[in-house]
Structure formats: structure tokens, C-alpha cells
Amino acid sequence: MSEQRPRIAITCGEPAGIGYELVAAAAMRSHAAELVAIGDPALLRERSRVLDGPELDTPAWTPDAPRQAHRVGRLPVDPVPMAHPAQPGTLDPANAEAVVTSLKRAVRLAAEGQVDAIVTAPVHKGVINDAGLPFSGHTELLAEMTATETPVMMLVAGDLRVALATTHLPLRAVPEAITPERLEAVITALHHDLVDKFAIAAPRILVTGLNPHAGEGGHLGREEIDVIEPTLERLRAAGLGLVGPLPADTAFTPRALEGADAVLAMYHDQGLPVLKHAGFGRAVNVTLGLPIVRTSVDHGTALELAGTGRADGGSLQAAIELAADLALRRQHRPG
Ligand SMILES: NC(=O)C1=CN([C@@H]2O[C@H](COP(=O)(O)OP(=O)(O)OC[C@H]3O[C@@H](n4cnc5c(N)ncnc54)[C@H](O)[C@@H]3O)[C@@H](O)[C@H]2O)C=CC1
Ligand SMILES: NCC(=O)COP(=O)(O)O
């Protein structure tokens, strides 16, 4: 089969944040993939002026455009104009609808096969909700739009992969969200995509407990005994390589991680601080369990850096590279 250069749609994210200038900076580099932005072309040009070099060229793009190689300094844009002129560092709920429209357009393009992957720059969840648009995160929106019951958020920094059993929930809602059904679905999706997307033949997954010391035999919480351990037992019987539930405080020590392909943490701030300590600036957020390829950066909108040209584009670069790899792997999948 002949190899087709992947076409990647990049959403530019919150217009008051660093997304637009990072996307413009990415377009100033060469890529093995074709890049198409979805967002406000005038804002991309404006933010490209804070970077060293000439202004970005932003021709209009439509899905019927022929495939072509990326050209440094040129970024075709599927235009979604902002409602108000965007100011770096100043959130404006009037622009939230355009942000969400860009995302939805990207998901539709991927679902229809017009693009091979999507990469998302960071949005500001708060301002989207302030605008009256209920929004917990890309992960949840992607799941809803693709009818995916159990999306799995996984961040990757080099060899370290950290997936989450729950995503954007208040901490007090976490224990009751960790049901046997949810845990089984998350672990099954994680195992499946480590095999299918990351070509790991027999993944070994470390699973943390929820409570300190993994519950200390039931004296510090019973979720390990009542939910996690029985679920792991069932899945081990089905052949999955699972270790745990492990006390989370030592699950990420180099010794515990030896031979592990991923760690499944029970909630956002149990797993992600470790991952970001290890690889902030080069890590990638990838959503597993979806019928489309989606990667994203490891950081947020960094409002205080917006418009300065000083934000680090390493994670966006890594997200583009991983999206291209995953899209190519899909092309080569039999059937
Ligand atoms: N994928 C997404 O859409 C994500 C969105 N967010 C959103 O971002 C907003 C702000 O979140 P925060 O917790 O403040 O995280 P943040 O990542 O925006 O900022 C945390 C710290 O890291 C620095 N930083 C972030 N990105 C950087 C970069 N590229 N180069 C250099 N320094 C960088 C910031 O200056 C700040 O000191 C929130 O609304 C959150 O929901 C957060 C994470 C991911
Ligand atoms: N901390 C990662 C994060 O919040 C990104 O979430 P999402 O918007 O990619 O679902």
C-alpha cells in the first residue's frame, strides 16, 4: 500500500492564550505531515508577528483542497473568526463559541476522513462555561461527538505513559465514579490502544490504588478491596498484564516502573503531576478509545505568556509528531 502523508487539523484554542502563537510557530517549521489550522486566520497572522521572522501566510482552506506538503511559513486555515478582537491575557466569553465551533469542526473533519488526525491547542474551560456552554474538556466533548462511551486520557513523556481512570471531576466525585464497570472499560480501552496504537504486544500496566497506601488493608478506605482488586483479578483471568492496586506514592519510583508500559492512576492529580514533573514541555496528551486520532499539548492556556512569543512550543511539536505517527499506523492497519 502506498503511504499517504497524514493531514492534521490543528485547533488554535483559547484566543487570549498561547495557542495561536504556538500554532503559528509550528507552521514556521517543516513537518512530515500536512498541517491545516482551524481558527481565526487574522489572529494567526497577528500572533505570528510576535515571533522572529516574516508574517505567517494563511490561505483559506476547504476540505476539498488537494492534499499537499506543508510549506514552512504557510498555514492553510479553515476559518472560524472570533466574535471580538482577542487581547492576549484577557479572557472574553464572547469568543468561546468560536473556540468550541473550531473543535467541533475538527472532530467532524476527522470523523468524515477529511483529515487523518486532530491536534488541539489549549482551551480555557472556565471561560467556555462562563459563556454558558457546558464544557468539561476536549476528552469529554470528543467522546460525546464520536459516541465513545469510555474515552481514556493518557499523557506520554518519553517512556512514561500515565492514563487516568477518571478525567475532569471534582475530587469528591472521584470515589463513586470508580465503579467496576468504569474501571474495566478504561483498562480494556487502555490495553487495546497500547497494543493497537503503540504496538506493544503484551502491555504491562501498573494500576494505582485510590487511597493512601492502597487502602492499608481496608483501614484507609475500601475501594481497593471492593472495586479495584476484583476488577483486576477478572481482567488478569482474561489475559491482561496488570499489577496492582499499588500505593500511588511509590508506583512511580524508577524501580516500580521497570518493565511497565503504562500506569493507570485513579484521578487527574494523582497521575499528572508526576508526568508533568518528568516531562513538562515535551509531553503529549492522547485520547484513547476514540475512532479518530487526537493528540494535544501537556499545558494550558498560560494567559500570562500570551502575546510574548516566549511560550515553549515543544509539547505542540511532540503532539504533531505523535499524531502523524498514529495516523500512519492506522493507514498500515490491515483491513
Ligand atoms: N488541553 C487543554 O485544553 C488544557 C487546558 N488547560 C486550561 O488552561 C487553563 C490554565 O491552566 P493552568 O493550570 O494555569 O495551566 P497552564 O499550563 O496554563 O500554566 C501552568 C504554568 O505553566 C506555564 N506554562 C504553560 N504552558 C507553557 C509553555 N508552553 N511554555 C512555557 N510555560 C508554560 C505557565 O506560564 C504557568 O506558569 C485552565 O483553564 C485549564 O483548564 C489546562 C491543561 C490542558
Ligand atoms: N490536564 C489535561 C487536561 O486538562 C486536558 O484535558 P482535555 O481538554 O484534553 O480533555
Question: CA 153, 301, 276: angle at the middle one, nearest 5?
Answer: 50
- 193 plus 271 within the same structural domain: yes
pLDDT in tens, 15-55: 999 999 999 999 999 999 999 999 999 999 999 999 988 99
Three-state DSSP state, 72: coil
Confidence of residue 223 (pLDDT cuts 50, 70, 90): very high
Confidence of residue 334 (pLDDT cuts 50, 70, 90): low
Say what the pLDDT of residue 151 is. Answer: 97
Adjacency order of strands within the sheet including 7-11? 77-79, 34-39, 7-11, 117-120, 294-297, 284-288, 152-157, 160-164, 262-265, 204-208, 241-246
Confidence of residue 4 (pLDDT cuts 50, 70, 90): confident
- 9 plus 124 within the same structural domain: yes
Give the number of domains in the chain.
Answer: 2
Last residue of a domain, one of 263, 283, 303: 283
Q: What is the ipTM of this complex?
A: 0.98
Query: Which of 14, 118, 138, 142 best tests ligand 2's pocket when mutated (most atoms within 8 Å of CB)?
Result: 138
Question: Is the pLDDT at 130 greater than 90, yes or no?
Answer: yes
> Which helix (H) or strand (E) element contains residue 181?
helix 180-196
- 156 plus 81 within the same structural domain: no
Distance 233 CA to ligand 1 centre (A): 38
- 143 plus 202 within the same structural domain: no
Last residue of a domain, one of 283, 309, 325: 283
Q: 146 near 289, Cβ under 8 Å?
A: no
Position 217: which residue type?
Answer: G
- 34 plus 114 within the same structural domain: yes
Which positions make up the binding site?
138-139, 168, 213, 268, 276, 285, 294
- 272 plus 301 within the same structural domain: no
Q: Which atom of ligand 2 is nearest to the CA of 285?
A: 9
Q: What is the percentage of the chain residues whose pLDDT exceeds 90?
A: 96
Distance CA 225, CA 214 (A): 9
Question: Strands 294-297 and 284-288: what pairing?
Answer: antiparallel
Q: Which atom of ligand 1 is nearest to the CA of 311?
A: 30
137 lines ligand 2 (CB under 6 A): yes
- 155 plus 257 within the same structural domain: yes
- 270 plus 168 within the same structural domain: yes
pLDDT in tens, 97-119: 999 999 999 999 999 999 999 99
Q: Which CATH number covers residue 273?
A: 3.40.718.10
pLDDT in tens, 78-99: 999 999 999 999 999 999 999 9
Say what the pLDDT of residue 309 is. Answer: 94
pLDDT in tens, 277-310: 999 999 999 999 999 999 999 999 999 999 999 9
166 lines ligand 2 (CB under 6 A): no
Say what the pLDDT of residue 1 is. Answer: 46
Tell me what the mean pLDDT of segment 218-240 comes to: 98
Q: At what angle do helices 41-48 and 19-27 cross, to 10 degrees?
A: 80
Last residue of a domain, one of 261, 283, 305: 283
**Which domain, by its residues, includes 78?**
1-148+290-334
pTM comes to 0.97
Task: Cell 511532540: give the residue.
Answer: 318
- 123 plus 178 within the same structural domain: no
- 62 plus 89 within the same structural domain: yes
- 20 plus 124 within the same structural domain: yes
Question: Is the pLDDT at 335 greater than 80, yes or no?
Answer: no
Q: Mean pLDDT score of the chain, rounded to an integer?
A: 96
- 116 plus 65 within the same structural domain: yes
Which of 157, 261, 156, 241 lies closest to 199 in space, CA to CA? 261
